[in-house]
Structure 1
């Protein structure tokens, strides 16, 4: 991994979490309900949800376990193994354990450890159910019960829900090659979502973030993602969603009703990606983009997270309002894991006992 700025990487991951926390309380509300509860401008700040302000949802939880899987896969790769897909699969099984599933059931037949290992799964704050998607729970439970690890050519289901794209931004760091970033994110997305628009949208977001971290503007990054998309079967739906996002943004700042009528609700992968991209394109600044991305009738936490991943990569962590960072749940955990991922994928990854205990290669 070369040519990335630490502040921009932190910005991408932390702003994604902020967008998630802003959108979580309004995720299941229509825009009419949002305005009725918060006023004409909609939600403009964190509100109490899940027992406090700034609480994140399963979007950020799974992003964290994706990052942990990337670190552990890299540790394994340096030791002569480290298959990315299987390592992240087992990271997701650890996340499943945090959702109230006994480890003996969550680990499946492929892990005989008496307890889940690594430091992340020990974080008490992660052991909370925050509206996890049924598709994700079903796919991970099936794997634990003995089903093979899914892939684009051996899908677990036909779901194109947004549960794959909303966790894919960290894969931007996995490789310098856009083709490898795209294919890696798509493979990891297919662990839970078997419809092409479910996992190809994950590949597209990872490439968009990858390009922005390397200096591209957002329109150019979208073009690169579309070029990568075109090499995959059944890419048209995701590609057309990106085309629509750019077209709507070119017409000016969209109203929430326009977002819904032109781009959808964000419940499926390509729609969530399109809303996040469109909001980022028309935003006045990072905060403005996040608020636009969450105030609509749809999957507000996921569209806020995706927009945050994009704008945070562009603007860096210092563009996130301090008041939001100060109240963000799992802020220190998210920062630590992001820095550890940068360290592991950097030029001088640690080779100490303490590091291998924190991130054992699976």
Structure 2
């Protein structure tokens, strides 16, 4: 679990300084290979994460809080996103901050949050986790399939849920802010891939299993096509940023997932994590989001020991990210009481 969350943070921070730049501009600034490691932002700071990591952490926190009340999980995850929204609107934690995570001062920084995430949380929509996913648009931002659904959804695959359960819960929670079916199916597919990786499957096998799962749901075609394109591209010879750009820019959900999957498949071995992350960010598009999703996949596949240690050492919030990953593991996979209930310090994560 540490690998997944820390890998996502590394990829997010790696891509952050070059988001919005064209591939030509990246190469003009850093050389023909683009960036070859973490680079500073304009103010000289290296390793800042963005809203991608912020929202991923609050997803994990919401799932921990919902562990004893699974019937209310979508509402509890929405409350977690509202706590994230507070970090975007206030300069520091309030005196009576609700829980451990939102007391972290470094989270109170606005890092280009997605418009659909911001506007979607203004609606009081709590998706019904038992409602069948039928491919109809959700009521909030019904035409939006921005990558904000995918970049925050790795934690759904880290609980004790099956791949199908992870898929469905991630898809329902995506509809808190994004109503387009491709937006929520891409989030679900990502969560399912993470679950399969943790179960010991290969990356290619995990993607193929997610495709089988997607096929059960009406309206899956855009997400399915994007993942199939990523698989075909990875099998088609030497990787390159130009090839990655044929999958899109990563601004929308299925493209962000496809670019991340392609980069991870192109460099699948534990010793090539850095190469995969660099491929996932050196393109003309949403580099921090594609880097974040790729890092989540690589960390889930290989574990935290395979992550580039120097890059990790420079990544903002790494200690909190690791601690939250450990809490998530403890909440869903840790020791139980004689009555079968997970033993966990509830004061860190109030049940709401």
Q: What's the TM-score, normalizing by structure 2? A: 0.90
Q: Are 1:94 and 1:116, in contact at CA under 8 Å, matched by a contact in 2? A: no
How many Å apart are 1:116 and its aligned residue?
A: 4.0
Whether 2:109 is the aligned partner of 1:132: answer no
Which residue, 47, 53, 76 being the options, matches 1:87? 76
Counterpart for residue 164 of structure 1 = 149
- Unaligned residue ranges in structure 2 (runs of 5+): none
Task: Name the CA shift for 1:15/1:352 in 2 (closer, same or farther; >3 Å).
Answer: closer
Whether 2:250 is the aligned partner of 1:266: answer yes
Greater shift in the superposed pair: 341-350 or 320-329:
341-350
Q: Distance in 1 between matches of 2:343 and 2:350?
A: 10
Counterpart for residue 162 of structure 2 = 177
How many Å apart are 1:101 and its aligned residue?
A: 5.2
Counterpart for residue 51 of structure 2 = 58
Which residue, 84, 87, 100 being the options, matches 1:119? 100
Counterpart for residue 327 of structure 2 = 340
Please give the residue correspondences for 1:73-84 in structure 2 after superposition, counting only pairs within 5 Å.
Answer: 73-74=66-67, 76-77=68-69, 83-84=72-73
Q: Are 2:58 and 2:81, in contact at CA under 8 Å, matched by a contact in 1? A: yes
1:215-241 Cα distance to aligned partner (Å, 9 max, x none)? 101111011111111121210000000
Please give the residue correspondences for 1:253-332 in structure 2 after superposition, counting only pairs within 5 Å.
Answer: 253-260=238-245, 262-283=246-267, 285-332=272-319
Which residue, 24, 34, 40 being the options, matches 2:26? 34
Counterpart for residue 232 of structure 1 = 217
Task: Name the CA shift for 1:50/1:360 in 2 (closer, same or farther; >3 Å).
Answer: farther
Q: Are 2:336 and 2:343, in contact at CA under 8 Å, matched by a contact in 1? A: no
Counterpart for residue 68 of structure 1 = 61
Whether 2:238 is the aligned partner of 1:246: answer no
SS of 2:111 mapped into structure 1: coil
Q: Distance in 1 between matches of 2:342 and 2:171?
A: 32
How many Å apart are 1:333 and its aligned residue?
A: 0.4
C-alpha RMSD over aligned residues: 2.2
How many Å apart are 1:150 and its aligned residue?
A: 4.8
Q: Distance in 2 between matches of 1:204 and 1:216?
A: 15
Which residue, 3, 6, 24 being the options, matches 1:11? 3
Which residue, 79, 100, 109 being the options, matches 2:89? 100
Which residue, 337, 345, 348 being the options, matches 1:355? 345
Counterpart for residue 210 of structure 1 = 195
Q: Are 2:159 and 2:328, in contact at CA under 8 Å, matched by a contact in 1? A: no
1:303-350 Cα distance to aligned partner (Å, 9 max, x none)? 111111111111111111111111110000000000000001024258
Which residue, 191, 196, 201 being the options, matches 2:176? 191
Q: Distance in 2 between matches of 1:323 and 1:239?
A: 36
Q: Are 2:59 and 2:152, in contact at CA under 8 Å, matched by a contact in 1? A: yes
1:175-229 Cα distance to aligned partner (Å, 9 max, x none)? 3422111001111111111111111111111111111111101111011111111
Q: Distance in 1 between matches of 2:206 and 2:343?
A: 39
Q: Are 1:150 and 1:156, in contact at CA under 8 Å, matched by a contact in 2? A: no
How many Å apart are 1:358 and its aligned residue?
A: 0.7
Question: Paired residues, what number?
Answer: 336
Q: Distance in 2 between matches of 1:160 and 1:136?
A: 11
Q: Are 1:23 and 1:301, in contact at CA under 8 Å, matched by a contact in 2? A: yes
Task: Name the CA shift for 1:353/1:253 in 2 (closer, same or farther; >3 Å).
Answer: closer
1:138-182 Cα distance to aligned partner (Å, 9 max, x none)? 001x22xxx333566643011001001011111102334221110
Q: Distance in 2 between matches of 1:59 and 1:50?
A: 20
